[in-house]
Amino acid sequence: MYWMDIAAAIAAMKHCNAPVVTASVDNISFENPIGLGNAVHIEAKVSRAFTTSMEIYIRVWGEDLTQQFKYKSNEAYYTFVALDPNRKPRTVPQLAPETEEEQQLFDGALRRRQLRLILGGKMKPDDAIELKALFMKP
Ligand SMILES: CC(C)(COP(=O)(O)OP(=O)(O)OC[C@H]1O[C@@H](n2cnc3c(N)ncnc32)[C@H](O)[C@@H]1OP(=O)(O)O)[C@@H](O)C(=O)NCCC(=O)NCCS
């Protein structure tokens, strides 16, 4: 999990060219344990940039180097905030999704952001329009 935080921080810093701080980590779902002696692959990408924060999507695989196969271990979403020289949040460049998968991550990021801000006491549930829409019948 420490490595995941580092990988996510690198992705965030490369996107905004600034120091970043971890604001939150969503639930991490573990599918398979990584065996002792197996290699660990971590993929971290910015899924959406907001004003000063960025959501990072992380996927982790294990690799059995003797049997030569890779298997999914876990995935998670991290949120990082870019900081100015005074350690205050600063604006980040926007992200344009290119692939279908990137578009899905981008769209979902808004709902995940609303959920984490509600849980963090930083947003009223009534203001989470896109999240509420998931539970409303058309
Ligand atoms: C994260 C932090 C920089 C936010 O600063 P703040 O003064 O509360 O600033 P704001 O309320 O203006 O929020 C700034 C951004 O953080 C986001 N944010 C704040 N709390 C958040 C949370 N719990 N989850 C996700 N994003 C959060 C806000 O949505 C905002 O993003 P936006 O500009 O894209 O809309 C500040 O709380 C902090 O430094 N926390 C400690 C971080 C830390 O020590 N991390 C290391 C853990 S090992």
Cα 92 to chain centroid distance, Å, stands at 15
Q: How far is the CA of 137 from the centre of ligand 1 (A)?
A: 33
**Average pLDDT score, the chain:** 95
Out of 53, 113, 117, mutate this one to test ligand 1's pocket (max ligand atoms within 8 Å of CB): namely: 53
Q: State the average pLDDT over residues 46-55.
A: 98
Look at residue 27 and tell me whether its pLDDT is greater than 90: no
Q: Which residues contact 18 (CB under 8 A, 6 or more apart)?
A: 82, 83, 84, 90, 92
Nearest CA to ligand 1 atom 17: 53
Q: Does residue 25 surpass a pLDDT of 70?
A: yes
pLDDT at 138 over 90: no
* pLDDT of 2 strictly over 80: yes
Identity (one letter) of the amino acid at 59?
Answer: R
State the closest ligand 1 atom to the C-alpha of 79, by its place in the atom list counted from 1. Answer: 25
- Output the residue whose Cα is nearest ligand 1's atom 24: 24
pLDDT value for 29: 85
